[in-house]
């Protein structure tokens, strides 16, 4: 209980002091005195936060704050969600809700640069039709780019969590080159709908695009 309370207190310390990435924390002796715990206990909790990717030990700077990236956060939460035994059907429904919910924002905020980016990703994917593993990675990048357009980081994080949790199950890699081409052609239609700012058309296309996912 002491270590859990200490963990929460350190997290509160970081937030209350508005520490930014790269900011240095006080040394273990100073922190242990401030929080009224032994240096060994403080070292253990600091080590835990280092393993979690929240803190980083640097030889010349001491212990500094490290802001985890989306993959770190998604992987961490995905493991915990797996313990809930969420089924594929539930996760498929969650993905559908997420992807449909961002369409109005994608249509609203997409710029010509965004359209060009989506086109480049899709073209690269289609050129790799005979390397289904790499093509699958670019297919995922295409969908994550849609979330980037919205500017809503939490939505992208939720999508990343679903992807990490059910990678290879809910969303199996492309079976063959034909599957890559089919997905690429569907992406082209989605890009066209974005360019034309056609919310209704894009909604139908996205629904059709993710429909084949197994349950």
Q: For 8-52, what is each residue's pLDDT tens digit?
A: 999 899 999 999 999 999 988 999 999 999 999 999 999 999 988
End-to-end C-alpha distance for the chain, whole angstroms: 41
Position 72 confidence tier, pLDDT thresholds 50, 70, 90: confident
DSSP assignment letter at 197: T
CA 31 to chain CA centroid, nearest Å: 32
What does pLDDT average to over the chain? 87
pLDDT for the residue 171: 58
Contact present, 114 and 190 (Cβ < 8 Å): no
Q: How confident is the model at residue 215 (pLDDT cuts 50, 70, 90)?
A: very low
Which contacts qualify for 127-131: CB closer than 8 Å, 24 or more apart?
A: 128/180, 129/177, 129/180, 129/181, 129/184, 130/177
How sure is the predictor about 101, in pLDDT bands with cuts at 50, 70 and 90?
very high
């Amino acid at each position: 209980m002491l270590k859990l309370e200490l963990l929460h207190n350190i997290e509160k310390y970081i937030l209350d002091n508005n520490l930014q990435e790269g900011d240095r924390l006080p040394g273990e002796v100073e922190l242990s005195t401030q929080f009224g715990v032994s240096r060994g206990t403080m070292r253990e909790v600091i080590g835990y936060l280092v393993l979690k990717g929240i803190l980083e030990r640097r030889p010349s700077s001491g212990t500094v704050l490290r802001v985890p990236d989306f993959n770190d956060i998604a992987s961490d939460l995905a493991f915990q969600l797996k313990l809930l035994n969420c089924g594929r059907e539930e996760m498929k429904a969650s993905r559908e809700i997420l992807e449909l919910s961002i369409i109005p924002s994608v249509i609203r905020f997409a710029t010509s640069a965004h359209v060009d980016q989506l086109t480049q990703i899709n073209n690269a994917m289609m050129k790799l039709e005979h390397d289904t593993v790499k093509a699958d990675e670019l297919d995922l990048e295409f969908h994550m780019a849609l979330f980037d357009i919205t500017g809503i980081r939490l939505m992208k994080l939720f999508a990343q969590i679903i992807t990490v949790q059910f990678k290879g199950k809910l969303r199996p890699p492309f079976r063959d080159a034909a599957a890559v081409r089919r997905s690429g052609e569907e992406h082209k239609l989605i890009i066209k709908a974005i360019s034309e700012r056609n919310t209704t058309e894009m909604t139908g296309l996205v629904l059709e695009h993710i429909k084949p996912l197994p349950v």
